[in-house]
Structures are given as C-alpha cells and as structure tokens.
Homo-oligomer: A and B are copies of this chain.
Amino acid sequence: MLTLHQEFFSQYAKVYRPLLNKLNAELEQYSLSNSQWTIMKLLKIEQVMTPAEIAHRQQVEKPSITKILQRLNEMGFIEVTPGEDKREKWIRLTDSGEAVCIEIMERLKLLYENLLEGIKEADLENAINLLMHVHENLSK
C-alpha cells in the first residue's frame, strides 16, 4: 500500500487534469490558454516584468515565454516598452488586458469557492502552508 507521502502526491496529481480542463473551459471564452492566463495573472500582481523574470518565475525557459508573449501581444493584452538596459523589454498589461484579467478572476473565484465548498478555514490555511512548504523544498 501507499505511504501517506505517496498518497498526498497521488491525490495532488489526480486533481490536475480535471482542474485544467475546468480552467480551460472558462478561459476558452476569452481565447486564452492556461499558460497565457498564468502569465497575465503574474503581470497583474507584478505590474512590470521582463521576459527573463517571467521565465524564472514560471520555471520554464525563455523561448517558451517569448512565444506566449507574442501571442498575448497580438491579442492586445500586453504592451512592450524598451527597458533602461536596452537589452531588456518591459512587459505590462494593457487596459484591455487588465480588464479581462479582472473579469476572469471574478469567474474563477466562484469556481474555486465551489470546489472548496464545505472546507473549514483552518484546514484550508493548513493545506496552503503545506503546499508552500513543498514549493520551498522543491527550489533547493
């Protein structure tokens, strides 16, 4: 049988595909994929980032980010300005990107509430801390 540790990661993995499918269903209406959306969320919080910073935060290589940013740019959701260091590009959400971002966040908030409906606040906090712990251990 599985140990508790194995059980945790097994459950973690089980949630992933159905959750992704739900997210993509919501995002489809905005012609966004999950990875595009993830970067928009990040920009919403950080305001301005360079592609290199985004790549580092997302733990993917820079060329992957280049492609996603190109598509977000075509859709008019981000704007690109040259940085002080002329090698850099500063990426930020446009007004339209910001608006879509807020709209999607509202929708997802409802989805998330449904998915966690009936969970006690203390348990939720506990699970968040556990995930943060795992995340930290992953980065060393």
Residues on A facing B (Cβ under 8 Å):
3-9, 11-19, 21-22, 38, 58-60, 105, 108-109, 112-119, 121, 123-135, 137-139
Contacts and interface: CB of A to CB of B under 8 A. Distances in A.
Copies of this chain assembled into the complex: 2
Contact of A109 (B6, B117, B125, B128): B6
A22 B138 contact: yes
Q: Which of A18, A115, A127, A133 has the most CB of B within 10 A?
A: A127
A59 B18 contact: yes
A5 B119 CA distance: 10
Nearest to A11: B131
B11 A135 contact: yes
24 contacts: A5-B113, A5-B116, A5-B124, A6-B108, A6-B112, A8-B112, A8-B124, A9-B19, A9-B112, A11-B128, A11-B131, A13-B38, A15-B131, A15-B134, A15-B135, A18-B135, A18-B138, A21-B59, A114-B137, A115-B137, A116-B134, A119-B133, A123-B130, A127-B127
